[in-house]
């Protein structure tokens, strides 16, 4: 549409450049197709003080980018994993061994120590250190106990989602995912 | 922390398929990848970090549980933001509040008045910028945040804010222009 030339020879106009400057910011991942090629942006920026200025301002703005709380991902993963078995093979809620979600069902007695986050964290750290966390094969009671400790403050969520489904299935879970779950423990 | 070794950075389809088939790592990576934009979207809407985190958690869990129903007509991110929006509206309705205040389609006019007692020079830079962001009308703030912080296309911004692509673009530019003006004012 309108290409601001400002007396200089620019392949693309300022407006189009500015539209795409956010994608140049660190930590922002471009999402769409048909974005302006980097070379064109560079060429424009080398020649346009206004757009360079704008980019600097956007960098300043982007430094204020709010981040989600550290426990968010861990809680989501824990709830999602607890809501259905995640195992090798097509096991689903139809699996006869899996009790489907039922919020009214009571959590087992050992869940009471969740009330103490420090104790929960300690148990988890200990258990991870001892390699008790169930990964692969059929997780036993130890695995279930340990995994339930990932987020002591989400005791209700666990009771709601995870425990009613029986022992969690975490076949082949990577260290990264476990680390994510561990990160959900509030200090 | 991302599992970039296992999953290509630009393709959610593999993650979605993996999570649907019971791959916990794929599910975790999907969550890691999208929790930020979701949280910020809800924070821009609610202005409250706890509420945003709470809604984000519910929306993500709902999305993950509904993966079998995700047909891939839109991106996973767009779908997730739509779920978040519904989640928020549902909660508003439940709480008997007025829904979607000031969120009609189209552009909005920024409030030009300086916030009372605002001593921008004395704030940390980040704090200062956040305060300026807070002064933007919601649709401008949403467009600026989604484009600036998370690199959404204007089409995606439009879908997430229930507006048109043109309006999303205009809201972005108006928002940025306002922020620059306010930032300049606060320096002089
Ligand atoms: Zn320019």
Between B126 and B177, name the one with better pLDDT: B177
Instruction: Please give the pLDDT value at position A25.
Output: 80
Closest by Cα among B56, B107, B22, A5 to B48: B56
**pLDDT of A4 above 60:** no
A107 touches chain B (CB under 8 A): no
Residue A168 DSSP code: P
Same domain membership, residue B132 and residue B48: no
Q: How confident is the model at residue A24 (pLDDT cuts 50, 70, 90)?
A: confident
Q: How confident is the model at residue A35 (pLDDT cuts 50, 70, 90)?
A: low
> H-helix or E-strand containing B36?
helix B24-46
Q: How confident is the model at residue B112 (pLDDT cuts 50, 70, 90)?
A: very low
Crossing angle for the helix pair B24-46 and A71-83, to the nearest 10 degrees = 130
Q: Does the beta-carbon distance from B28 to A75 stay under 8 Å? A: no
**pLDDT of A1 above 90:** no
Q: Does the beta-carbon distance from A77 to B31 stay under 8 Å? A: yes
**CATH for B154:** 1.10.10.10
Same domain membership, residue A124 and residue A33: no
Average pLDDT, rounded, for chain A: 59
Same domain membership, residue B76 and residue B125: no
Between B72 and A48, name the one with better pLDDT: A48
Of A83-87, B72-76, B131-135, minimum mean pLDDT range: A83-87
Q: What is the mean pLDDT of residues B174-186?
A: 92
Residue B112 lies in a domain: no
User: Whole domain around residue B27: which residue ranges?
Assistant: 1-96
C-alpha to C-alpha distance for A169 and A140, rounded to whole angstroms: 10
Residue A67 lies in a domain: no
Residue B14 lies in a domain: yes
Predicted structure pTM score: 0.68
**pLDDT of A59 above 80:** yes
Q: Which residues of A touch B37 (CB under 8 A)?
A: none
Chain segment B48-106, per-residue pLDDT in tens:
999 999 999 999 999 999 999 998 888 999 999 999 999 998 888 887 755 444 444 44
Q: Does the beta-carbon distance from B24 to A77 stay under 8 Å? A: yes
Q: Which residues of A touch B10 (CB under 8 A)?
A: 29
**pLDDT of A96 above 60:** no
Q: How confident is the model at residue A30 (pLDDT cuts 50, 70, 90)?
A: low
Of A107-116, A153-162, B141-150, minimum mean pLDDT range: A107-116
Instruction: Please give the pLDDT value at position A154.
Output: 41
Q: Which residues of B touch A176 (CB under 8 A)?
A: 1-3, 25, 28
Of A20-24, A159-163, B175-179, minimum mean pLDDT range: A159-163
Same domain membership, residue A56 and residue A143: no
Q: Is B139 helix (H, G, I), strand (E, B) or coil?
A: helix
Same domain membership, residue A104 and residue A22: no
Same domain membership, residue A92 and residue A164: yes
C-alpha to C-alpha distance for A180 and A177, rounded to whole angstroms: 5
Q: Is B163 helix (H, G, I), strand (E, B) or coil?
A: coil
Size of the A and B interface in Cβ pairs below 8 Å: 148
Same domain membership, residue B177 and residue B126: yes
Number of domains in chain A: 2
Residue B113 lies in a domain: no
Residue A167 lies in a domain: yes
User: Whole domain around residue A46: which residue ranges?
Assistant: 2-62
Same domain membership, residue A130 and residue A95: yes
Same domain membership, residue A164 and residue A83: yes
Q: Are B38 and B61 in contact (CB under 8 A)?
A: no
Same domain membership, residue B76 and residue B159: no
**pLDDT of A135 above 60:** no
Q: Which of A11, A30, A62 is the last residue of a domain?
A: A62
Same domain membership, residue B52 and residue B133: no
Q: Which of A21, A43, A62 is the last residue of a domain?
A: A62
Q: What is the mean pLDDT of residues B17-33?
A: 93
B147 touches chain A (CB under 8 A): yes
Q: Is B72 helix (H, G, I), strand (E, B) or coil?
A: coil
Q: What is the mean pLDDT of residues A154-172?
A: 41
Instruction: Tell me the residues of chain B between 51 and 90 that have a Cβ less than 8 Å away from chain A.
Output: 53, 56-57, 60-61, 64-65, 75, 77
**CATH for B44:** 1.10.1740.10
- Identify the top-confidence range among A86-90, A105-109, A183-187: A183-187
Instruction: Please give the pLDDT value at position B91.
Output: 85
């Amino acid at each position: 549409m309108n290409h601001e030339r400002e007396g200089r020879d620019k392949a693309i106009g300022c407006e189009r450049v500015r539209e795409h400057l956010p994608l140049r910011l660190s930590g922002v991942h471009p999402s769409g197709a048909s974005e302006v090629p980097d070379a064109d942006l560079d060429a424009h920026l080398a020649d346009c003080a206004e757009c360079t200025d704008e980019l600097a301002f956007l960098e300043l703005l982007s430094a204020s980018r709010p981040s989600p709380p550290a426990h968010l991902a861990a809680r989501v993963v824990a709830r999602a994993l607890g809501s259905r078995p995640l195992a090798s093979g097509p096991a689903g809620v139809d699996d006869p061994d899996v009790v489907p979600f039922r919020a009214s069902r009571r959590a087992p007695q050992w869940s009471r120590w969740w009330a103490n986050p420090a104790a929960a964290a300690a148990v988890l750290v200990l258990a991870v250190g001892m390699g008790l966390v169930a990964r692969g094969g059929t997780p036993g009671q130890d695995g279930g106990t340990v995994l339930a400790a990932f987020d002591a403050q989400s005791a209700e969520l666990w009771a709601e989602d995870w425990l009613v489904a029986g022992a969690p299935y975490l076949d082949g879970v990577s260290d990264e995912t476990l680390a994510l779950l561990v990160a959900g423990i509030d200090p | 922390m991302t599992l970039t070794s296992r999953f290509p950075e630009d393709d959610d389809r593999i993650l979605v398929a993996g999570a649907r088939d019971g791959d916990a790592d794929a599910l975790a990576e999907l969550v890691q990848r999208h929790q930020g934009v979701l949280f910020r979207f809800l924070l821009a809407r609610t202005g409250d970090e706890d509420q945003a985190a709470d809604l984000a958690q519910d929306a993500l869990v709902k999305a993950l549980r509904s993966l079998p129903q995700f047909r891939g007509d839109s991106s996973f991110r767009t779908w997730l933001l739509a779920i978040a929006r519904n989640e928020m509206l549902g909660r508003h309705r439940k709480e008997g509040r007025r829904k979607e205040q000031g969120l009609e389609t189209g552009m909005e006019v920024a409030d030009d008045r300086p916030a009372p007692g605002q001593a921008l020079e004395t704030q940390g830079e980040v704090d200062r910028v956040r305060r300026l962001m807070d002064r933007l009308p919601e649709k401008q703030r949403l467009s600026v945040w989604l484009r600036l912080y998370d690199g959404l296309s204007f089409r995606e911004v439009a879908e997430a804010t229930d507006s048109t692509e043109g309006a999303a673009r205009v809201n972005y530019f108006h928002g940025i222009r306002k922020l620059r003006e306010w930032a300049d004012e606060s320096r002089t």
